[in-house]
């Protein structure tokens, strides 16, 4: 323990998909500061784009400026609260942006420790030893029904309510993120993504793609291409972070 120094590399890509006229997803990624996030905005007109961009900017600026000994995950939770306030207040002041919000999934790395924070139905996965595991739990109506046993996974995918999320950044004065503390092992590969990826590609398909020993940028491109081939019904964003010895 402690003898292995972990180095990180990252790549990300975002695509409008084949059906939408704009891309309301946004991402931010800094290996230097160990901050990576994906946001999927929602709201009328261009409001979704505004919300996701505000969230990324707020999270990146707060977390990139954190002190080296900033307590975690409290510092990250404060960043989420600040991002929430920025979006909420902007929506209150501008009727065209009223009701806008965004999902947010963030990975923060610090040596061999990491934290994932989640609000909404974007996801974080970890690939370890060739096995893909979903770390986050979707804050969506159908996934909550699946977890409580009232709906099965196939029904959830078909449900007309599958787009309803139960938590978002910016739609309420206060929001709470799920926090997942993690111990990092060399070789871990993290995928952060919007639902435009996970609606089109099964976990098995994601796992097969991520087993390929390709540069992260190529893996991102392949995932987006595969999601578009499967229909590209929504904006698609994927962000990969690899822990190397």
Query: Residue 40 or 143: which CB sits closer to Ca ion?
Result: 40
Query: Residue 12 or 182: which CB sits closer to Ca ion?
Result: 12
Please list the alpha-helical segments (H only) found in the chain: 47-64, 74-93, 141-147, 153-158, 195-198, 203-211, 216-229
Query: Residue 195 or 200: which CB sits closer to Ca ion?
Result: 195
Tell me the per-residue interface mask from 152 to 191 with Ca ion, x by CB under 5 A, - otherwise.
Answer: ----------------------------------------
* Residue 15 in the binding site for Ca ion (CB under 5 A): no
* Residue 195 in the binding site for Ca ion (CB under 5 A): yes
Min dist CB 26 to Ca ion, Å, is 11
Q: Using CB under 5 A, which of the segments 92-100, 110-118, 161-169, 234-242 binds Ca ion? A: 234-242
* Residue 121 in the binding site for Ca ion (CB under 5 A): no
Residues 40, 138, 143, 188: which binds Ca ion (CB under 5 A)?
40
Cβ within 8 Å of residue 51, ≥6 positions away: 24, 39, 41, 42, 43, 87, 91, 97, 100, 101, 102, 169, 170
Question: Residue 165: how many CB atoms within 10 A of its CB?
Answer: 23
| Helix, strand, coil percentages in the chain from 3-state DSSP, rounded to 5 | 35, 30, 40
Q: What is the DSSP letter of 229?
A: H
Residues at the site binding Ca ion, with contacts judged by CB under 5 A: 40, 194-196, 234
């Amino acid at each position: 323990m402690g003898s292995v120094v972990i180095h990180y590399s990252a790549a990300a890509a975002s695509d409008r998909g084949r059906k939408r006229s704009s891309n309301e997803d946004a991402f931010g990624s800094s290996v230097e500061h160990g901050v990576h996030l994906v946001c999927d905005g929602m709201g009328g007109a261009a409001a979704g784009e505004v919300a996701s961009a505000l969230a990324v900017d707020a999270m990146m600026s707060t977390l990139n400026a954190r002190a080296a000994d900033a307590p975690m995950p409290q510092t990250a939770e404060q960043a989420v609260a600040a991002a929430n306030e920025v979006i909420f207040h902007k929506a209150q002041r501008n009727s065209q942006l009223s009701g806008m919000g965004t999902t947010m999934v963030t990975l923060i790395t610090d040596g061999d420790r990491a934290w994932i924070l989640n609000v909404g139905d974007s996801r974080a996965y970890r690939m370890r030893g060739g096995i893909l595991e979903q770390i986050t739990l979707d804050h969506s109506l159908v996934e909550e029904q699946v977890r409580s046993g009232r709906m099965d996974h196939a029904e959830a995918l078909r449900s007309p309510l599958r787009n309803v999320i139960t938590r978002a950044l910016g739609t309420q004065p206060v929001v709470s993120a799920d926090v997942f503390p993690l111990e990092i092992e060399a070789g871990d590969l993290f995928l952060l993504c919007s639902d435009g990826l996970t609606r089109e590609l099964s976990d098995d398909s994601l796992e097969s793609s991520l087993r390929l020993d390709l540069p992260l940028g190529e893996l991102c491109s392949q995932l987006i291409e595969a999601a578009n081939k499967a229909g590209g019904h929504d904006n698609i964003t994927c962000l990969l972070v690899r822990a190397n010895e």
